Amino acid sequence: MEFQFAGLAEFLAMEGHGPYVWIAYGVTLVAMAALVLQPVWRRRQLQAELKRQERIRQRRQSAEKKRVAEPA
Amino acid sequence: MAWQWFHRLGSPRWFYQNTGAWLPWLALASVLLLVLGAVWGLGFAPQDSKQGNSYRIIYIHVPAAFLALAGYYIMAISGAIGLIWKMKLSYLVMRAAAPIGAVLTFISLLTGAVWGKPTWGTYWVWDARITSMLILLFLYIGVIALSRAFVREQVADKACAVLALVGTVNIPIIYKSVDWWFTLHQPATIKLTESSSIDASMFYPLLTMIIGFYCFYAWTLLLHTRNLVLQREWRTSWAQQALRGEPLAAGK
Amino acid sequence: MSSVDRPATAGPGFSALLRVELLLALRRGADIANPLLFFVTVLALLPLGVGPEPELLARMAPGMIWVVALLATMLSQESLFRSDFEDGSLEQLTLSPQPLYFAVLAKVAVHWLVTGLPLALLSPLLALMLNLPAGGYLCLFVSLLLGSGCLSLIGAVGAALTVSLRRAGLLMALIVMPLYVPVLIFGTGAVQAALDGYAYHVQLAVLAALLAAAAALAPLAAAGAIRISTDS
C-alpha cells in the first residue's frame, strides 16, 4: 500500500476530479460537524434558560422578603 | 432479573447517568475510524480503472446511504417499543433519530449527485437508487414535520411512532416499485455503482468508513437523545443538577 | 347471544355506519363536487402551460391525470375526520364496542364512493380532452378505480394523524405523498403499458394487491392514530 499521488498538488487535483471529490467530502464534513455541534449548542441554550429562570425566582424571593420585612 | 436492564433503560435518569461515560469512547472511535478511512480512501486506495478518482466519493456515499436506511428502521423500532411498552425514553430515541437520519440521507443524495457529474455528465438522474433515497428523505421530513406540529410532546411522540411504522411497511414496497419503474423507463445504460466484486484494496477502507459511520451514528444519537432527556425532564431536580454540571447522586 | 360477548365482526354496525356516512356525504353536495372540479380545472390548465400540441399532451396525459387525481383525493381527505373530531363523535366512536377498524373502513369506503369513483368515471372525458390514444381508456379507468381506493386508505392514516391540528393541509400532504409513490408508479405504468400495446394485467394485479394490503393495514394504523389524536 502506498500513496497514489506524486505530490500534494496532484492529490488535490485528483486528475481533474478534485473539485467533485473535495466538495463531496467538504459538505459531508460540515453536515456531520453540525450533527455533533447542534446538541452542544442546544445544551448551552438549556443551561442559559435554567439560569434565567433561577434569577427570576431569586428576584421574586428577595422581593417577597422585603415586602414581609417592611410592610407598607 | 434478566429483563432488569430493559426496564432500567426506560428510566431517563438511569439512561442519562450511564451513557455519559460512553460518549468520549464513541467520539474517539468514530473520529479515528473516519479519519483513517478517509485518508486511506482518498490517498492510498488504488484508482478505479473506469471512473478515475471520482469513485473515491464512494467512501462517504455508501456508508451514509447505509446508515440513512438503517436509521429509519432504528427510528421505527424505537417508536414501536415506545408504543408497545409505553417507554418514554424510547420515544426520545426515535425523536433524536429523525434529524440524524435526514442529514445522512441528504449527505448520500448530495454525494451521489456530485459523483454523477464526472461519471455520466449530469448532477441528477432519476436513477432507481437516487429516487428511492429522495423518497426516504421525504419520509424523514414527514416525521420531523409531524413531530413539530403538536403542542403536547406526548401526543407528538405517539403520532410520530405510528407514522414511522407506516413508513417502515412502505419502504420495501417503495423500493421495489421504484426499481420496477426505473427498468421500465431507462434501458440499462447508466449504472451508478457496479455492485459486482470490489477489490480488497478498495474494500477495506470502505469497511473502515462503514464502521466509522456506525460509531458516529451511535455517538450523535446518544448526544441528541441525552439532550432531549434533559429537555423533557426539565422540571426535575436531577435534570437541573445535570445542567448546572453538578455530579448526580447514583439514583434509580 | 348477548350484545356484550358479541365477537368483533363488522356486523350490522358497519352497514349502518356506511349508510349514515353516505347519507351525510350526499347531503353535503359541495364535498363531492369540489374534488371533481379541482380535477377538471387543474387538467384544463395543463395545455395552457405546456402548449396545445396533441402529441405532447397525449404523452403527458396518463401521468398528469394520475397526479391530479392523487392531489384531488388527498385534498378532499383532510376533512375526513375533521367534523367528527370537532363535535366529539369521533371520540364516541373510539368508545363504542365495535372495533374502530370498521368505523374507519366505513368512512374510507364512503370517501372512495363520493371521490375516487366519480374521478375514475370522469377520467375518460379528461383523457379525451388531453388526446389520450384510444388504447389507454379502459386501463386508465380501471387503474384509477383500484388506485383511488389505495389513495383513500393511505390518506386516511394521514388525516387521522393530523386531525387534532388546526392547519393540517400541507402537513398532511408532506406525510402522505411519499406513501403514494407505489400506487402512482403502478397506476401510470399500467396505462403506459396499455398505450404501448403490451399486456397490463400485471400492473393492475399489483394495484389490486396494494389495495388489499392497504385495506388490511391502513385502517388499523388510522384507528391507532385516531386514539392518539382523541386522547389529548
Is there a contact between C189 and B150 if contact means CB atoms under 8 Å apart?
no
Condensed to tens digits (0 to 9), the pLDDT of residues C110-126 reads 999 999 999 999 999 99
Q: In terms of C-beta density within 10 A (0-12 exposed, 13-18 middle, 19 or more buried), how is residue C43 classed? A: buried
Query: Does C186 reach chain B within 8 Å, measured CB to CB?
Result: yes
What pLDDT was estimated at residue B176? 86
Distance from CA of A66 to the nearest CA of B (A): 27
A21: in domain: no
Is C232 an 8 Å CB contact of chain B? Answer: yes
Q: Give the 3-state DSSP-derived string for chain C, with helices as H, strands as E and coil as C.
A: CCCCCCCCCCHHHHHHHHHHHHHHHHHCHHHHHHHHHHHHHHHHHHHHHHCCCHHHHHHHHHHHHHHHHHHHHHHHHCCCCHHHHHCCHHHHHHHCCCCHHHHHHHHHHHHHHHHHHHHHHHHHHHHHHCCCCHHHHHHHHHHHHHHHHHHHHHHHHHHHHCCCCCCCHHHHHHHHHHHHHHHHHHHHHHHHHHHCCCCCHHHHHHHHHHHHHHHHHHHHHHHHHHHHHHHC
Q: Which domain holds residue A56?
A: 33-72
**The C-alpha cell that represents B148 in the structure block:** 413539530
- Subunit contact B145:C229, Cβ cutoff 8 A: no
pTM score, whole prediction = 0.89
Residue A8 falls inside a structural domain: no
- Please give the interface size between B and C, counted as residue pairs whose CB atoms are below 8 Å apart: 74
Average pLDDT for residues C16-27, to the nearest whole number? 85
pLDDT given at position B20: 85
Lowest mean pLDDT among B55-69, B196-210, C39-53, C71-85: B196-210
Determine the distance in angstroms separating the CA of C166 from the nearest CA of chain B, rounded to an integer.
9
Chain C interface includes B142 (CB < 8 A): yes
- Neighbouring chains of A at 3+ CB pairs within 8 Å? B
- pLDDT-derived band at C8 (thresholds 50, 70, 90) equals low
Mean pLDDT of A26-31: 94
Alpha carbon C94 to chain centroid distance?
A: 23
List, for chain B, all residue ranges whose pLDDT scores fall below the cut of 70.
Answer: 1-2, 8-9, 185-198, 249-252
Domain count for chain A:
1
- Residue B187: per-residue pLDDT: 46
What is the complex's ipTM, to 2 decimals? 0.87
Place of cell 434569577: A55
Is residue A72 a part of any domain in this protein? yes
DSSP-assigned beta bridge partners for residue B52 = B48
Beta bridge partners, B48, equal: B52
Residue pair C100/C230 in contact (Cβ under 8 Å)? The answer is: no
Q: Which residue of B has its CA nearest to A23?
A: B114
pLDDT band at C1 (very low <50, low <70, confident <90, very high): very low
